[in-house]
Amino acid sequence: MKNVSDLTREEAAAELQRIAAEMARADIAYYQNDAPYLSDAEYDALKLRNANIERLFPDLIRPDSPSKRIGAPLQSAFGKVAHRFPMLSLADVFSIEEVEDFIAGVRRFLNIDGDIAFMCEPKIDGLSFTARYENGLFIQGATRGDGQEGEDITENLRTIGQLPLQLEDAPQILEVRGEVYMAKADFFALNQKNESEGKKIFANPRNAAAGSLRQLDPEITRRRKLSLFAYTWGEVSERVWESQAGFFHHLEKWGFPVNPNNRLCRNVTEIESFFANLMEIRASLPYDIDGVVYKVNDIALQERLGFLTRTPRWAVAHKFPAEQAFTRIRNIRIQVGRTGALTPVADLEPVNVGGVMVSHATLHNEDEIKRKDIRIGDTVIIQRAGDVIPQVVGVLTDKRPPESQQFIFPHICPQCGAHAIREEDEAVRRCTGGLTCPAQAIERLRHFVSRDAFDIEGLGGKIIEDFYKEKIILSPVDIFTLEERNQSNGEDLFERNRGLELEKREGWGKKSVENLLAAVNKRRIISLPRFIYALGIRQVGSATSRLIAQNFESWQHFEEQMVAGETEKLLAIDGIGESMAHDIVEFFKEEHNLQTIRDLRRQIQIEDFRDQVNYNSPLAGKTVVFTGTLEKLTRSEAKAKALAMGAKISGSVSKNTDYVVIGADPGSKAKTAADLGITLLSEDEFLSLLA
Ligand code: IVH
């Protein structure tokens, strides 16, 4: 075989194609048939050769390159299951102070002075599952997926001996949720066996559990030893328990494994000692845990607390301190993000941090580099917490080599040469090039097609970059005119409209172009939250986009209000503050943004927002304003309840207001409302509307 450095361009392209095909075949053998025909060493050698060729010929990287595919075996092969009740995640906290803040917040929300009991549970580091029972029979199992929709793993779950398949005395419909994990001993045994047979070694028990559960052939799942703990519920026809502790009793009675270390704690002191004790016994537990979950025990209180967009208000995850490792900084470079922020990134000598190889870490901003006195050549402590980008905790100064170099933070954007300036009270320095800066433009396009936005399959980061550089895609709308431009025949007046002939690109063909265009067409109808998120407005993440969608319901309405500069409409939304509202309104002041949206709307259709809110409730679609002090509910509780019933909340009274809820000592809003002839509700009347 030729050395990579001796390959001609044609040979390199052919070689990349050969490796992609070979590795795809090996993946199927490994993941689908559990009958690998390549040793790990052979597999890794192919992977390395592929990476080396790609480094020399980056423009030849194939859309189906194995470098993009590793670790995500055949995801789409499972059927989808829509969760009737979303599978939420938990907010994370990292210190006992934050736990105290959480408890104080719960008390404030509920307006309770005394102690509140919390169920404290080890946080199992596995994969969450949901198991549906109808008339006592197990009928369906699913993974969490994105929380709204998961993968159908019914047959795989069925092979786990600990899952009861039949329940006595259970509600007619019952969804039990929990975590599937691989015990440490089973993980070591599996790896030992795999090693002796030349098969793949898993990095940690969590990966092993994931790889074992998501097997297309459930027989393979059966052979791997998986375990589970149950800890919560989804849909249930008749809830016959009043507390988390009560639910555990039922789970035990039905035969589900319940973690023996779960404890009911009555105050902060008990919670603190629970956490300290668990840290101590962590290593000796037969399974991996990554923290503790605290849940308000009383379900009536849980229901009053309700949910934020993605997490319950009644529970929190207290994570164990992140894992750390030492390594050396090879170089520091600047990345230019979507909003022009210059972020320094450290290139590291690769190091294993808690089972994952890390070769880059963020240095955040220029002050952070100064404060920690981080220099090129330094040995540093790297920390990784969950999915968070690895960070540099500190420098081991006694290991500093004499040739170490201070990093001089540029005042010029390294991508486009525009000035990079730092506003007085901001930590970040930003490129002023706007869309003339290729880095910003490319990052915005990448964001636009990313998973939580338009989610266009096959339009990966590299292709976006190539298409941008070749002026094929300069603005989001260009994505949706690709097909038309690809087909045009060269008679157009405009240079850009000459047929793109995408199928003639290196490494592309008729099929790959068809696939790409089909993936684009699939996204011509988009949900409102995704569309808002895709715009890449500063500070507006996917949770906020959802909130906005929920409150404005249609794009038309949202745009009209924003163009009219209705900041108050945003501020009335629980979860949107001054600075975010400012960024949103500013976005709509830019003519080029409005133009982009107009162009896009000629190509796509934005669906109105539909959510799991109660559309039959008397509050559905009504605009509600609160004034004065409520006695039975706190203000945030009342707002949350009204939102869940489909109401819109506003901070001020106008002729569009439907109801004004009046508490004790109401302000001028009550008078304005009366003058406008708007229906006034007492707290009790409001409560009976909710009921
Ligand atoms: S309760 C609405 N309890 O942690 C709350 N989750 O960060 C639903 N997890 O997705 C989750 N142990 O995969 C809960 N005892 C426990 C848990 C637990 C592990 C996982 C679960 C969840 C994630 C949230």
579: pLDDT strictly greater than 50: yes
Average pLDDT over residues 532-554: 90
Q: Is 83:248 a contact under the CB 8 Å cutoff?
A: no
Model-level pTM? 0.53
Res 100: pLDDT: 94
Q: Which residue has the tokens 């600075």?
A: 579
Q: How far is the CA of 306 from the centre of ligand 1 (A)?
A: 16
Res 649: pLDDT: 81
Residue whose CA lies nearest to ligand 1 atom number 2: 88
Q: Is 268:102 a contact under the CB 8 Å cutoff?
A: no
- At 368, the amino acid letter reads E
Q: For 273-410, where are the E strands, in sequence order?
A: 289-296, 315-319, 323-336, 342-353, 356-362, 379-384, 391-395
Q: How far is the CA of 145 from the centre of ligand 1 (A)?
A: 14
Angle at 502 between CA 526 and CA 415, to 5 degrees: 75
The pLDDT tens digits for 2-17 are 888 899 999 999 999 9
Res 463: pLDDT: 94
606: pLDDT strictly greater than 90: yes
Mean pLDDT of the residues in the chain: 89
Percent of the chain with pLDDT over 70: 94
- At 579, the amino acid letter reads S
The pLDDT tens digits for 70-82 are 444 444 578 899 9
Res 446: pLDDT: 95
16-25, 43-52, 386-395: segment of lowest average pLDDT: 386-395
User: pLDDT tier at 355 (50, 70, 90 boundaries)?
Assistant: low
Q: Which residue among the candidates 47, 68, 123, 193 is catalytic per the annotation? A: 123
Q: How far is the CA of 93 from the centre of ligand 1 (A)?
A: 14
CA–CA separation, 447 and 169 (whole Å): 50
Average pLDDT over residues 222-237: 95
Question: Pocket of ligand 1, candidates 89, 125, 177, 290: which has the most ligand atoms within 8 Å of its Cβ, to mutate?
Answer: 89
The pLDDT tens digits for 456-505 are 998 998 999 999 999 999 999 999 999 999 886 555 555 555 678 899 89
The pLDDT tens digits for 413-424 are 999 999 999 988
Average pLDDT over residues 551-578: 91
Average pLDDT over residues 91-116: 92
Res 72: pLDDT: 40
388: pLDDT strictly greater than 70: no
Q: Is 394:372 a contact under the CB 8 Å cutoff?
A: yes
Q: Is 319 a catalytic residue?
A: no
The pLDDT tens digits for 314-344 are 999 998 876 778 899 999 999 999 989 999 9
Angle at 559 between CA 558 and CA 561, to 5 degrees: 70
Q: Which residues contact 113 (CB under 8 A, 6 or more apart)?
A: 107
User: pLDDT tier at 354 (50, 70, 90 boundaries)?
Assistant: low
Q: Which of 271, 285, 281 is nearest to 316 (CA)?
A: 271
If one compares 541 and 562, the residue with the highest pLDDT of the two is: 562
DSSP annotation of 655 reads T
CA 544 to chain centroid = 13
Q: How far is the CA of 304 from the centre of ligand 1 (A)?
A: 20
Res 632: pLDDT: 84
Residues flanking ligand 1, CB < 6 Å:
88-90, 121, 123-124, 128, 144, 179, 231-232, 293, 312, 315, 317
Cβ–Cβ contacts within 10 Å for residue 87, how many? Answer: 21
Q: How does strand 659-662 pair with strand 356-362?
A: unpaired
Res 496: pLDDT: 52
Question: Pocket of ligand 1, candidates 88, 89, 90, 129: which has the most ligand atoms within 8 Å of its Cβ, to mutate?
Answer: 90
34: pLDDT strictly greater than 60: no
The pLDDT tens digits for 141-180 are 999 988 888 999 999 999 999 999 999 999 999 999 999 9
